[in-house]
Copies of this chain bind each other. A is one copy, B any other.
Amino acid sequence: MFQIDETHAPSLRSWVASANGHADFPIQNLPLGSFTPLGRPPRGGIAIGDQILDLAALAASGLLQGEAQVAAEAGAGGTLNPLLALGAAPRRALRRAVSALLAEGAPARPELLHKAADCTMNLPAQVGDYTDFYAGIHHATNVGKLFRPDNPLLPNYKYVPIGYHGRASSLRPSGGEVKRPLGQRKPPEGAPVLAASQRLDYEMELGIWVGAGNALGAPVAIDQAASHIAGYSVFNDWSARDLQAWEYQPLGPFLAKSFHSTVSAWIVTPEALAPFRAAQAPRPDGDPQPLPYLWSEADQQNGALALDLEVLISTTKMREAGLAPHRLSLGSALNMYWTPAQLLAHHTINGCNLAPGDLLGTGTISSPEREGFGSLLELTDGGKSPISLPNGETRTFLEDGDEVLMRVRAHRDGFAPIGFGECRGTIMG
């Protein structure tokens, strides 16, 4: 499933000079996205350094054959759903063909490229349904402790990959403004009031893009689940904690989440991530064995992802003073209690049909250590312990003008490091 081939060679360089040594998009990455060149219709593309390879132009170029050409044609439109629907083999063929085309030594074809800075990035796919999981066990523990100090994890947590349906319409690509939501909040005394959220937070997650779908009534077996995943993005599940606390019983989070969710613009494929697969951490003694529909030897051996998860903040005052964004946390995706394949298998066990371009959030991923906590709720002990910023400002929750910047990066000895590109948003009052 996750094979290493010539496209991963660390020595591989591109005739696109900016790709060589690029922190996110060297030739070993080749993530998929949807972009709009100035004054032209949206189309699919592949990031390479500070350029974007135009899949519509590539499909029309006559340079590709076979499955790679089929994939380029499917990616030539305004959303990547048709390309995602094709599944792994055409996607892999496209990767190999594009890698050869962009490699140093191949004829330079600048007519297929756009400067990324001149383009607008779109949501990569039209998301039919978005689901958010809760797979970050340290996050679930930290949040649970705020309510139940002695018994933070509910009894189902280690059996059920907990998740809930989210709102697809308010998903937006990285870069926009995020309007602080109005909502009901219950003060400690007295009746609830309608007001702008005072406890606005981010959540550091991975987004998982569904590739080939499944029919209603036909669960995806755990051994097949990874083949239904088309790639990954950085995902910020903005959360209004005060709205959530008042509204969420008994049916779960609703308006506390649905005002806006931000996803990074590029889909990093399972092929690009092949070198960064890892074994799922062994469950601690006493934790139950997953039920058979969630357990596969192969998935346990390489179904996890060794990815660094970084969150930074830049306040209005920091920007005015010329200060660089300040790191709030650095964690790892290895802290997920369930693999992406387990999440997908669980989602379909009841027969629920997933479709190409559906998005699954992992839930907030926190490390056991404070430096890897993936939300302000955790970093500030539920808003009780403000954090300090380099210019002397403090924060419990987000203030207007705060920009949150998330990055995901992968590195491993013997391989070229790659990154996911930014997931960025600025709070607006």
Contact = CB atoms under 8 A, between A and B. Distances in A.
Interface of A: 128-129, 132, 134, 154-156, 159-160, 162-170, 172, 179, 181-184, 186, 191-194, 216-217, 219, 240, 243, 246-256, 258-260, 288, 291-293, 346-347, 349-355, 358
Q: Which of A160, A165, A256, A355 has the most CB of B within 10 A?
A: A165
A254 B129 contact: no
B247 A160 contact: yes
B219 A182 contact: yes
A134 B352 CA distance: 22
A348 to B, nearest CB: 9
B251 A250 contact: no
Contacts of A167: 129, 165, 352
Q: Which of A164, A183, A260, A350 has the most CB of B within 10 A?
A: A350
Nearest to A196: B350
Nearest to A218: B179
Given A248-B250, A251-B253, A252-B252, A160 B182 contact: no
Contacts of A353: 169-170
16 contacts: A156-B246, A160-B246, A163-B251, A164-B251, A169-B216, A169-B358, A170-B351, A179-B217, A181-B351, A248-B251, A248-B252, A250-B252, A251-B253, A259-B350, A259-B352, A260-B351
Contacts of A132: 251
Contacts of A346: 255
Contact of A183 (B165, B216, B350): B350
Given A182-B350, A349-B183, A252 B216 contact: no
A291 B165 contact: no
Given A164-B165, A249-B154, A252-B252, A159 B352 contact: no
A251 B249 contact: no
A184 B172 CA distance: 33
A128 B258 CA distance: 14
Contacts of A166: 165
Contact of A164 (B156, B164, B186, B347): B164
A155 B246 CA distance: 9
Contacts of A254: 162-165
A81 to B, nearest CB: 13
B160 A184 contact: yes
Given A182-B219, A216-B260, A254-B165, A352 B160 contact: no
A246 B156 CA distance: 7
Contact of A182 (B172, B216, B349): B349
Nearest to A134: B251
A210 to B, nearest CB: 10
A191 B288 contact: yes
A166 to B, nearest CB: 6
Contact of A159 (B134, B184, B347): B184
A132 to B, nearest CB: 8
